[in-house]
Chain A
Amino acid sequence: MKILVSVKRVVDFNVKVRVKPDGTGVDLGNVKMAMNPFCEIAVEEGVRLKEQGIADEVVVVSIGPKACQEQIRTAMALGADRGIQIETDQELDSLAVAKLLAKVVEEEQPGLVILGKQSIDSDNNQTGQMLGALTGMPQGTFASEVNLVEGKVEVTREVDGGLQTLSLNLPAIVTTDLRLNEPRYASLPNFMKAKRKPLDTKSPADFGVDISPRLKTLKVEPPAERQAGIIVGSVDELVEKLKNEAKVI
């Protein structure tokens, strides 16, 4: 079975993001980028299924500027076999990504598609579901456990109030939650090997997909800064402040 994993290049989770002074978006100049952590979990799951002998190939795809080849190479260092980059410098809506992935699915015919449940930059949580709708494949989202049994995939999902287990026919779509696995470290020799693994570059036009945005960002604002607290001298002062300044009692 072939597994297709999608990965996104996002701002590194350690970086404290800044809004551009003109409020048009987040400032990405000189900022460290990395693979979206949920996508890393998706790669790890694909690689584990291959190591268990259930999958025979893990293909990783990323859509974005040339630099996202770095994330594809990292995925290959973690164990993916080959990469596909769909190159565009345009900002992409979830729907455009899902449409492109649907085309890749058509071409590659994977038995399982694994995606992160969301990316930590836009937090949309839509692409996997949209891909399900576009391809008609069954979907198991927010997976915390994935088991392949007799031609089906059992997906344990983290839902409000507990865990739900679904059994899906293959081919299927899985989106990963945080607890699915703990990704490994890529080793140094594997980084070297990854440089020699095949990486195909395509463009959205190759797939005939229209990626023009359907959403418009009006304004991006940082959350209000928390005011510094004060230490009150006595209970009386506290009561007085709550009454007259905060006006909550």
Chain B
Amino acid sequence: MKREAMEFDVVIVGAGPAGLSAAIRLMQQAQEKAQELMVCVVEKGSEVGAHTLSGAVLEPRALNELFPDWKDRGAPLHTPVSQDEIYLFTGPEDAKKIPNGLVPKTMHNDGNFVVSVGNLCRWLAEQAETLGVEIFPGFAAAEILFDADGAVKGIATGDMGVGEDGQHKDSYMPGMELHAKYTVFAEGCRGHLGKQLMERFELDKDADPQHYGIGIKELWDIDPAKHQPGLVIHGGGWPLDKETNGGSFLYHAENNQVVLGLIVDLSYSNPYVSPFEEMQRMKHHPVFKQYLEGGKRVSYGARAIAKGGFNALPKMHFPGGLLVGCDAGTLNFAKIKGTHTAMKSGIVSAETIFFAIDQGGLDLAAYAEAFEASWAYDELYRSRNFGPAMHKFGTLMGGAFNYVDQNWFKGKLPFTLRDRTSDYAQLKPAAESNKIDYPKPDGVISFDKLSSVFLSSTNHEEDQPCHLKLKNPSIPLERNLPLFDEPAQRYCPAGVYEVVDEESGGKRFQINAQNCLHCKTCDIKDPSQNITWVAPEGAGGPNYPNM
């Protein structure tokens, strides 16, 4: 069967904050000028929000620009931040609360809201559909399409109904080609098409390597008596050791729920680190436990976060399209916030594209200038030293540097720290590393991986080709195992990768792809860069609620 093709003005890949903001801004301009515009958004999750996982404390700046009347439109921003607390955890029982005066400015949250970015996206999608955007959840963009001159001319959705052996099943349905004047890639952190675009157009040639973290998050119903809507807690230090950077959070949202999580920088060097188990033991610290006791865990999930910021920002335009949001890496790590900057980059992309269409099809080089002129870019510039300082000086001294940088110099210190080693290249051999003895979960506050993945409502059609591709299938056992004790067993937050003892005495590398949470950590951290994440059959993956 040949693939059918459909024509649009703009095709957007990914219904996250960036993609939906782009779609909305395009249609708003079309309405203002009474022009017809065909815009479609494809989303790999079974519904908008199903794959969205964030914190989140939202800075509403971009939303204010998109919909000044968002309140009247019923946007799900119900919980203003009421109080900020920051801790330095010095041990499993100990913590120092940082006095307000010593907190870097970027960590203050006055005027911000505790939200579910999943629900924000669901709401944005409703607004977009009302404006006439076609949104197709359950369809993953699997392939980039190029025209004869090598410019991007759209994407193709994946085939459905292909068996594990590659044969077509009875339900086989070939993918669709979606052609567009311009294609916007808004896949979020480590987009798998974005990665191909970077290579093909050498977009990151002049940038530092991107740096990442893995965020592991849970949603809890807690005892109403302990609930303080709008209380926002951040922490650094324990459970992570001195060589491992990261930070913890706990936010009191609405409806007696709290969200909490741990972000572990993927630049960690000890292959025995298990971000999942770090997060589980973190919850036993009194600062967290006090809220969780008597509560019940509702959901679990994980997602990588692109934290390289300004220094790692690639070129975002190429012939036929743009890269926006975390797909490019617009997150401000000094604030651990990326939603507002992702939205802003989407808005600016829509303005550039609308103008280009209006002028009869310009190239999109103007995007660079337009984005550089925006507040989002200015924010990233001022925070450029934050991540490298943490990497260079560790959490404590790095934190002090950032205080001085952000509060005294407003981010304008006349030098830039750089960090040029990719995260995957940071691992030390297992032989030179200490094993970490993680406590057993108690089944009340802490849990094992499988019962956690269960709460993400993750599902993939079982009979389909594995979406975690090994370039060389022998590397996990022949290189990664002897050298690093195959770290995939520990960094994957869903237990997808297992080294199994065979009855014959040998070992086998097993991939339980149906558990995959689409966090992209394996694609980032595999020390041999041997794992490539590709989009599975549409609608597969987690079914997150208000994450």
User: Interface of A with B (CB < 8 Å)?
Assistant: 12, 14-16, 18, 21, 29-32, 34, 182-185, 187-189, 191-192, 228
Hey, which chain A residues are within 8 Å of B173, CB to CB?
184-185, 187
Known: A31-B545, A187-B176, A188-B157. A182 touches B457 (CB 8 A): no
Docked complex Cα distance between A31 and B173 (Å): 28
Interface residues of B in 433-464 (CB under 8 A from A): 443, 454-455, 457-459
Known: A16-B457, A32-B543. A21 touches B176 (CB 8 A): no
15 contacting pairs across A/B (C-beta < 8 A)? A12-B543, A14-B459, A15-B457, A21-B221, A29-B255, A29-B546, A30-B119, A32-B457, A34-B46, A182-B170, A185-B161, A185-B173, A187-B176, A192-B134, A228-B443
Number of A-B contacts (CB under 8 A): 55
Hey, which chain A residues are within 8 Å of B170, CB to CB?
182
Hey, which chain A residues are within 8 Å of B475, CB to CB?
none
Smallest CB separation, B459 vs chain A (Å): 4
Hey, which chain B residues are within 8 Å of A184, CB to CB?
171, 173
Query: Most chain-A Cβ atoms within 10 A of its Cβ — which of B134, B139, B543?
Result: B543
Docked complex Cα distance between A228 and B441 (Å): 12
Chain B residue nearest in CB terms to A188? B176
Query: Most chain-B Cβ atoms within 10 A of its Cβ — which of A15, A32, A228?
Result: A32
B6 on the interface (CB 8 Å rule)? yes
Smallest CB separation, B402 vs chain A (Å): 35
Going nearest first, the 4 A-B pairs with the smallest beta carbon separation are A30-B545, A30-B546, A14-B459, A185-B160
Interface residues of B in 453-496 (CB under 8 A from A): 454-455, 457-459
Contact (Cβ within 8 A) B119 A15: no
B324 on the interface (CB 8 Å rule)? no
Hey, which chain B residues are within 8 Å of A183, CB to CB?
171
Docked complex Cα distance between A192 and B545 (Å): 26
Contact (Cβ within 8 A) A15 B543: yes
Count of interface residues, chain B, beta-carbon cutoff 8 Å: 32
Chain B residue nearest in CB terms to A74? B138
Docked complex Cα distance between A192 and B459 (Å): 26
Hey, which chain B residues are within 8 Å of A15, CB to CB?
457, 543
Contact (Cβ within 8 A) B50 A185: no
Hey, which chain B residues are within 8 Å of A191, CB to CB?
136
B356 on the interface (CB 8 Å rule)? no
Hey, which chain A residues are within 8 Å of B543, CB to CB?
12, 14-15, 32
Contact (Cβ within 8 A) A32 B46: yes
Smallest CB separation, B142 vs chain A (Å): 13
Known: A14-B543, A32-B47. A188 touches B457 (CB 8 A): no
Chain A residue nearest in CB terms to B542? A14
Chain A residue nearest in CB terms to B4? A189
Smallest CB separation, B267 vs chain A (Å): 34
Contact (Cβ within 8 A) B160 A18: no
Docked complex Cα distance between A90 and B136 (Å): 30
Docked complex Cα distance between A192 and B455 (Å): 33
Hey, which chain B residues are within 8 Å of A21, CB to CB?
221, 296
Docked complex Cα distance between A131 and B241 (Å): 66
Contact (Cβ within 8 A) B171 A182: yes
Hey, which chain B residues are within 8 Å of A18, CB to CB?
298
Docked complex Cα distance between A182 and B172 (Å): 11
**Sample of 4 further A-B pairs with CB below 8 A, known A31-B545, A32-B543, A185-B173:** A12-B457, A29-B255, A29-B545, A185-B160
Smallest CB separation, B335 vs chain A (Å): 26
Contact (Cβ within 8 A) B171 A185: yes
Query: Most chain-A Cβ atoms within 10 A of its Cβ — which of B119, B176, B298, B457?
Result: B457
Contact (Cβ within 8 A) A188 B136: yes
Docked complex Cα distance between A15 and B546 (Å): 13
